[in-house]
Amino acid sequence: GFARKGRTDEAVGWFDKMIAEGLEPNVVSYTAVIDACAKAGDPAGAVRWFEAMLENGVTPNALSYNAVINSYARLGETEEVSRWLDRMRAVMPPDEISYNTAIFGCANARPPDADEAERLFKEMRAASLQPTV
């Protein structure tokens, strides 16, 4: 709910309540907060929560990486998008969402980065993945 709308304060509040009740956060709960940060235009917050997940021994999944990638793609920060794709590649292959989000980030860049979008598109096709953007 809150994460889908980018209402970071509410998402964090529920996360804190969950911990106060003695429940262990898992990859789904961390990713929800990371996603809320992304939708709120707060990539620094998304990274903070991603790092907290790692520090607490929770292994990120593709959705976790994609949420951080999305946080930078929304702002057109293609260098950070590339850095996070590389970080993801170190542990798992990027999926369709990863590539589509990265290409979306190229369109949001000012000026738009057509060369990087084309490179990502070709890389995506070489991995037998389908673009949706």
Phi, psi of 81 (to 5 degrees): -60, -45
Average pLDDT, integer, range 97-123 = 96
Model pLDDT, residue 4: 53
Q: Is 97 exposed, middle or buried (0-12, 13-18, 19+ CB in 10 A)?
A: middle
| C-alpha R_g of the chain | 15
Average pLDDT, integer, range 5-21 = 81
Model pLDDT, residue 6: 52
Structure tokens given for 70: 């999305």
**32-82 per-position pLDDT tens digit:** 999 999 999 999 999 999 999 999 999 999 999 999 999 999 999 999 999
0.85 cut: is pTM over it? yes
SS (H, E, C) 7-18: CHHHHHHHHHHH
**74-105 per-position pLDDT tens digit:** 999 999 999 999 999 999 999 999 999 999 99
Question: DSSP letters along 1-53, please?
Answer: -HHHHT-HHHHHHHHHHHHHTTPPP-HHHHHHHHHHHHHTT-HHHHHHHHHHH
Using the predicted structure, report yes or no on whether residue 29 has a pLDDT greater than 60.
Answer: yes
